[in-house]
Structure 1
């Protein structure tokens, strides 16, 4: 029987004036409440209450103990209220991990806009193209491209985007398959791209195929989009970039298949909260979701 439970029951007995009334308030039987009091006095080795058929009186020790019980309850209530208040007001550090591209173009703009008016919120942002262990690393939220294997983490799709097969405007002419291919670290040595014809676009007569397939062998490799973008801008080959990045560099790069599009890539939010998610995390997910939706509209 916990000490806190015993002290709470004792406090109710004193406040209500009787064991019977305390039992009614607590929703317990009279015998259970009486047993709580008896066990408490046995554990303490003192008498807290003297009782007659009509009245009960606190002993000197009982009165002092009652004051401490009231203080304990106030502290507990304040702790409970503070925890609930922190759940409602954005504050503290939120730790987010994402790939370099997603961090730069999705997470950072979304978070800064979302929490601009909440100076008590601090960011711990970790750009990582690997698969970080959220629980072990103490990470609140991961934004990942593609569905992750089943685990104890909560996973929710929050949007999608498309990659663009692109190259520099000065790229030498010739079949696309003969160009050097700049592969990302997550792509295999042999790369296969299938594209589908865009809808609601005017086509020349020779554009009749609904799907096209291309196969490449990786020439260059990079472990982040910065390096891939740098090679593309130096005409070192062709490669894919998320459309939201490609749109920012159309002064240098061109879509090599303007009438076709690659399949969509789904974006997921992952976290380890199974209940009582911090308000900062729920706000961050909503903000990143909105950012993805806004970019999708801009790309249409």
Structure 2
């Protein structure tokens, strides 16, 4: 009969890391151990269970039927263990372990980084890993605790919590506005030099809505400069290249400091939702709840100051 006496909880954590990352090498990197330690742990686990859990090839690792069932059981056991420790520990309010947060480059740097910095300052036993990029991130495979996504969500098994919405504003530098007279009618602004984001399907054409009312319009701007990141577009606009349509969270600080001026204030892009996305499961670890609560409070403070 199988007995847990011959195994430790670490064996289960190693196995989960292998399945979540899909690689012995990546699992070893996540756990900060040697690859041989991971390999021996899996061998010991399979020997004690008397079952093959994974199939190794030169290119990838696949999970057997028994391995998939065991993985789900391991995930539930670790959830219950975390919950039990959080309940009885004298330091129940202290956050420990590693918190992995994923989001886009701009949102991470502008909104999330300050929140995580304060959270780390308040909880010195917490290790934080930010994963920034505009590519799709598999939360389970990459061990992400929470992803912050801007825009409509695709259907998935992940849990989602709406925490904010963002819009894009037309902005220009004070120097540009001194050198150029903007037409009073936004429809005539199509001929004003425009800084565009190249990664969009049509970098020059935008749909704008009037924030007070039902009016909307399509406008083709005269692109004078094009860049592949919103940061580069913002820098070009700040240095007087032209007007730009940029996310409110990226330009609010510049507007407050007078480096940029919002133009055509009653027009913007349609608002996009911002969601916190969690891996499947009912349990939300305390470190994740603390981060999301802090992020929501930060967003509320920014909205009140705007």
TM-score > 0.5 by shorter chain: yes
The alignment's C-alpha RMSD in Å is: 2.9
1:173 to 2:173 alignment: no
Whether the aligned pair in 1 keeps the contact of 2:205 and 2:218 (CA below 8 Å) is: no
Quickly say closer, same or farther: Cα 1:177–1:85, change in 2 above 3 A.
same
Q: Paired residue for 1:194?
A: 208
TM-score by length of 2: 0.62
Q: Paired residue for 1:161?
A: 166
TM-superposed CA distance for 1:86, in Å, is 4.7
Q: Paired residue for 1:96?
A: 101
Q: Paired residue for 2:49?
A: none
**Structure 2 counterpart of 1:236, from 213, 238, 241:** 241
Q: Paired residue for 2:259?
A: 252
Superposed, 1:76-91 pairs within 5 Å as 84-86=84-86, 88=92, 89-91=94-96
Quickly say closer, same or farther: Cα 1:186–1:225, change in 2 above 3 A.
same
| Per-residue deviation, residues 208-250 of structure 1 (Å, max 9, x unmatched) | x954542336554333332111111122222222223322113
Q: Secondary structure at the match of 1:113?
A: helix
Whether the aligned pair in 2 keeps the contact of 1:161 and 1:296 (CA below 8 Å) is: no
CA distance in 2, matches of 1:193, 1:275: 39
Whether the aligned pair in 1 keeps the contact of 2:120 and 2:127 (CA below 8 Å) is: no
**Structure 1 counterpart of 2:295, from 278, 284, 288:** 288
Which sections of structure 2, spanning at least 5 residues, go unmatched? 5-78, 183-187
**Which of 1 and 2 has greater Rg?**
1
Highest relative contact order (Cα 8 Å, sep 6+), 1 or 2?
1
| Per-residue deviation, residues 67-112 of structure 1 (Å, max 9, x unmatched) | xxxxxxxxxxxx9767622574411111111112211222112222
CA distance in 2, matches of 1:81, 1:145: 33
Q: Paired residue for 2:42?
A: none
Whether the aligned pair in 1 keeps the contact of 2:152 and 2:272 (CA below 8 Å) is: no
Quickly say closer, same or farther: Cα 1:150–1:220, change in 2 above 3 A.
farther
TM-score by length of 1: 0.63
1:224 to 2:224 alignment: no
CA distance in 2, matches of 1:152, 1:182: 38
Quickly say closer, same or farther: Cα 1:217–1:140, change in 2 above 3 A.
farther
Which sections of structure 1, spanning at least 5 residues, go unmatched? 5-78, 200-208
TM-superposed CA distance for 1:147, in Å, is 1.9
